[in-house]
Amino acid sequence: MSHQNKLISRLNDHTAVIGIVGLGYVGLPLMLRFTEVGYKVLGFDVDKSKIDQLNNGKSYIGHITEESIARTIECHRFEATDDFSCANEPDTLILCVPTPLNKFREPDLSYLINSVESIAPHLRSGQIVTLESTTYPGTTEEELQPRIEKQGLKIGQDVFLVYSPEREDPSNKKYLTRNIPKICAGITDNCLEVGKALYGNIIEKIVPVSDTRTAEMTKLLENIHRSVNIGLANEMKIIADRMGIDIYEVIQAAATKPFGFVPYYPGPGLGGHCIPTDPFYLTWKAKEYGLHTRFIELAGEINRFMPRFVVEKVVKALNDQKKPVFGSKILVLGIAYKRDVDDPRESPSMEIMKLLKEKGAELDYSDPFFDSFPKMREYKFDLKSIEPIEENIRKYDCVIIATDHSQLDYDLIRKSAKIIIDTRGVYQKNEKNFIRA
């Protein structure tokens, strides 16, 4: 029996061992789904503290319960390790590692390349390697394929190489790993067949595309589509604000059109690991073809401006009360990048706090997901989360709703705060004591 047929057979009868490299917001939900349907999973991560927590049945991601992790450990379906020499043990190696931007807003593939080079010497015939991280078109062919073939393994015959981008949406109760359609592409037809067998056993709908470059571009288009439309909504918010029009009422009215319009909502900027980052992977790659992606870059420029727009609103609101920003006490509600998640990556709240600190404001924050301000490369605040009760809120000159967590009591906040800067459209037009930002 060929390596391809043997691997597909093991995947279909659930005797294959699944290897997942990178145990974060993508890797952990994937692990839970594989174990849920009966596979054994070996997880890899370079962070020893994560390995120890997982092997002790603990979770470090808010929407993933400790009960779900502990259950996989107790039934001996999951084990985590930082020993990449064990990469020859599983039948699959699914790469779910970060692909951020560097300080020049260029792709940083160091996490991906380090992971591939860590597992490559231990690869064996009969394995599938699949990349889920978002990246520019050509990465799978140009960065992964040569490093695997360097080990003397033939792609499509010995080892099967696939690109299948993640589509996780943390805190989304409707769409989970199992029911989000999965894009899948292989370097060869054989690779695609193995990839379909891998994901078809855990996900309801597989969407095969012709090649890995197409799949890589598909993922970028998904997030660029959101970035551009959010950028448009943010620009419309600035214009509507200047004209004295409630942009949320405008969007709600426009959304009654049953065709040709999809509502996107403005905010204080973009956050998360995808939308602020992914468009610039295509911008960077397009330069290789002599192209300048003006539309994408303009949306990015607008979205990056939004924290400054919020700060300008704070300055004006305090000035109207004859108070300078310098020395004013300001409470930022929510430092996660979106509602009801414990992920601070690229959160616009961080930039808002940085800008206010530069102006001399005395800052505090409140977020139910962060007892202490998280460790960040660019943003450093030695702060603890403030309990958002009436007694505390009354102490501040200004309260900024930066992330609209559902746990917050917005009626209490409205009644207690002196000034509210609402960046998320929490309050309706006819309510008082708030300023839209």
Active centre residues (catalytic) = 274
Handedness of CA 340, 345, 346, 349 (dihedral sign): positive
CA distance 143 to 127: 18
To the nearest 10 degrees (0 to 180), the angle between helices 294-320 and 348-358 is 50
How far lies 331's CA from each of 33, 81, 116, 143, 317, in Å?
39, 41, 43, 45, 14
Nearest C-alpha neighbor of 436 from the set 247, 296, 209, 239? 247
Residue 353 belongs to what H/E stretch?
A: helix 348-358
Please say whether the beta carbons of 436 and 329 come within 8 A: no
Q: Are the C-beta atoms of 196 and 188 separated by less than 8 Å?
A: no
Write out the two tokens for 121: 């010497």
| DSSP β-ladder status, 182-186 and 159-163 | antiparallel
Provide the sign of the torsion angle of the four alpha carbons 276, 236, 168, 56, taken in this order. Answer: positive
Q: How many CB atoms lie within 10 A of CB 299?
A: 24
Distances (CA, A) of 430 to 234, 245, 295, 436: 22, 13, 36, 12
Query: What is the token pair recorded at 212?
Result: 């890995």
Query: Alpha helices of 75-139 — where are they, by DSSP H?
Result: 110-119, 139
Burial class (CB in 10 A: 0-12, 13-18, 19+), 202: buried
3-state secondary structure 222-264: HHHHHHHHHHHHHHHHHHHHHHCCCHHHHHHHHCCCCCCCCCC
Which residue, 397, 389, 370, 394, is CA-closest to 381?
370
Sheet holding 92-95, edge to edge: 78-81, 40-44, 17-21, 92-95, 127-131, 159-163, 182-186, 206-208
* Contact yes or no for 349/334 (Cβ under 8 A): yes
Structure tokens at 140: 């799978």
